[in-house]
Structure 1
Amino acid sequence: METEGQRFRQFRYEDAAGPRDVLRHLQELAGQWLRPDIHTKEQIVEILVQEQFQAFLPEELRARAQRCQPGVRITG
């Protein structure tokens, strides 16, 4: 799941043929990352909130949070 999230975050406009292609790619990448076919809305919100929260943490706290909550993906 982390790799798919990285692909979503790293996608750039230059990688697409135009605005519609950008939107299509982002929707596809988001679906691969967040997996709405297997996750509930609540789980998707939790994935997004955890990622944003951990992005705010200093590096040493991210590592500590990962050890305390091994099920939580740390992205950055």
Structure 2
Amino acid sequence: MENLFLWVLKEARVPTEDELAGIVAIGARHVELRIPLAEALRAYHIGARLGWRELVALAGPDEADDLIATAVHVLTSW
């Protein structure tokens, strides 16, 4: 599941309902554990920032346009 984000970016698509089922299950588990929504969202945002930093760190100097296109895709497609 942790690779889902990278796969859909690589394939320039949105995840399918089946692919999202595991993420939905995690969200349901958070509810069962009574984890406050604000804390869960904060954790997801931190993960997104760390993932983005890793993508930027791995990108070569000639891949800036690809990074920008990826950011636009993520921000407008989901």
Instruction: Please classify the TM superposition score into its range, dividing by the shorter chain length.
Output: 0.3 to 0.5
Specify which structure has the bigger relative contact order, considering alpha-carbon pairs within 8 angstroms and separated by 6 or more residues.
2
Report the TM-score when normalising by structure 2. 0.38
More helix per residue: 1 or 2? 2
TM-score by length of 1: 0.38
